[in-house]
Structure 1
Amino acid sequence: MDMPFLLDTTAPVLSHKIAASQNPAHNGTRLLVTLVSDGGAPWCIEKASFHVAGKEQALPQWTNLFIHSKDTDRLELNYPLIFRNHLNTAKDGDVFEFAIDNIVDGAGNSHPRYVVPIKVDYSSDKTGPSWYSFTFADSVNWFWNWDGYRHRTAQFSPAQYNGLGVIHNLGESPYLNHRTYYATGTISQAVSWKPSRHPCLSFRLMTPHYRANSVIQVVLTTTDGKNYSISLNKAGKDGNELNRSVNFAWENNKWLHFSFNVRDMLSKIGVDAKALADMEFKTVAIQRRGVQHNESLNLDDFFIHGLPADKAKGDVLRWAAFDASGVASLLAVCVDDAGKDLWSHEFTDLHKTDLAVLRAKVKGSQWFRCQAKDQVGNLSVPFWLPIYGE
């Protein structure tokens, strides 16, 4: 096979620029590094080494791209993520160095070490932080939202022919979009959940076309195959229905915040203490009946949660966000059922956020709107956190 670029003897030429980004997983900006090869020899990117503030570092695959085209190769780098630990402790005007070594093209032509200055500029930053990851302590049995790297997978399983995908618009929190197949729709998640240990199930739902006569419900399936339902629009009366008294008022395109103490609901319908202690759910499903074909229901911030096993050890949330000006804090705002802000707490420790501080003021299950704040004062899109307290 002929490979004309092997005859190329011209050294590649590199250039760079900081450019705006419309990728909703970015932080509004990106670093573009372009290699131009006069003879068409491709950049041997696998041989390159990258140095962040003087230290060699592998680049994360998430949100960073290498794009090859004829005569040109380009790196698109999410530099606020790559430099996040440095930016979080930086001051306005600080400059960090991003360097590329071992720059070689496919014909063996090389380029000397290439250095890009990364400057912190508060005045140009109009974008709040972007989420990367969350890790909860044992007060949370299982959770899923679609912020940060989680936006890449739907996680839940759809019924046959149901549509399912993640919607992530610029400047908005991502969420799961489920679409029905004709008059029905179901999504489900395998769990290992003992309600005696983690009593609460919390999540948020929104639909652009609510139908008053439809059925929307959670179905909980135990390890011995028994089903319990929680009606999400009208209270039900079936023997295994857990919501016997609450009707929910849906509005098109408005998020509803649901939080249920499943342990207490089971007790109220007559499940005795021993059966409750032994009970374990293996599946949680959200079902719709009596709807139209391809109708959407959106899901976000799904939690199975309760109290920490040892309250003396606290309840530490480990979270990571990134921002071109550095992340300063996490703001948690307590919001009531009517959507009114009640009180707030700002966590400035970026490594350990003890949710016991919030739980101390909560009785029952309470929702918090959580936003990361950057050094300039810009806020991220929120994720919603339910906290259970006694």
Structure 2
Amino acid sequence: MSTIPLDYETLRLIWWLLLGVLLIGFAIMGGRDLGVGTLLPFAARTDAERRVLLNLIGPTWEGNQVWLILGGGAIFAAFPSLYAVSFSGFYLAMMVILVALILRPVGFKFRGKVEDKRWRTAWDWGLFIGGFVPALIMGVAVGNVLLGAPFHLDHTMRIFYTGNFFQLLTPFALLAGLVSVGMVVTHGAALLAGRTEGIIAERARSYGIWAGLATLVLFALGGVWISFMSGHVITSVIDPNAPINPLNKSVELVPGGWLSNYSTYPWMIAAPVLGFGGMALAVFGLAARRKWLAYLASSTGIFGIVSTAGLSIFPFFLPSSSVPNSGLTLWDSSSSHMTLFIMLLVTAFFLPIIVMYTGWVFRVMRGPVTSDSLGKNPNAY
């Protein structure tokens, strides 16, 4: 261990932050595509208008998926216990997300192959499903993290998941899902308002304003609900440098326990402030036709909302609703000291390349997308 310049606690915290960056990166970059897909049948009414939306996100959506892939890879390599529980316990939910996401590339490629209104309308609704369903279920997953998942570990560290897919669809989890849908629709609408023109931009502004207001109300309702909900609180002494053992702790359910971090770490209040402030400013930007103010503000709102969930449950990753002591935390579900360090070196090399490449792509693809511009592009969808 002496050959590693960073101690175990520091590496664990760094990887917790990196995982948060990757998930927030997907929520912002991939969320705009999900939002545009959800708005496709509504903000665009004709075939020409819908082609504008498809060609707005079509060239970049695959690159935006990289954030989701990196997030899943980080969980697999840095927090294998979390990967084992979540990817097996939530297997059906993840398959539903995967099937919905598969509709997007198929829809982009197949929609324009046949000049038939029914054919294209069917694929338009497929693209809607590819945007709405992942946003909803990912939010439902976050809601279930706050509620706790029905799993436990035995003395040999074997995992026993005792729930099913439909048990995940509780009222609070569905509320969290609607917050997720609302924030990505607001974000997608802000993108459309900034990079399209005419009636499409006007419809997008209208939908975005209503989605932003709904997000604010639902996010506030979720905060009130959490204040009465029992949260998981570690009552034993934790050694951040200790070997991995999820059972080596005591956990109690405390009413309003998920709010305790905000008194312990007052700076965390910045997250919900950014969530509310960003979404409110996005609504203002859309109403005032301040294109990029709305987009930057909705990005800030998403950052704040996702950060609020992550900071509220810290240091938990996935609490257990059936046996609280089995809940997985940052300190007892990570990979080894050496693994985290080697992965950090690899990430320090590749992540800046991904960020620079993404920035270059969006610089090349900047500018408005219109029906006229599509007529000049033989490769347009």
Higher helix share: 2
Higher strand share: 1
Q: Which has the bigger relative contact order, CA under 8 A and spacing at least 6?
A: 2
TM over 0.5: no
TM-score, structure 2 as length reference: 0.21
Q: Which protein is bigger by CA-based radius of gyration?
A: 1
TM-score, structure 1 as length reference: 0.21
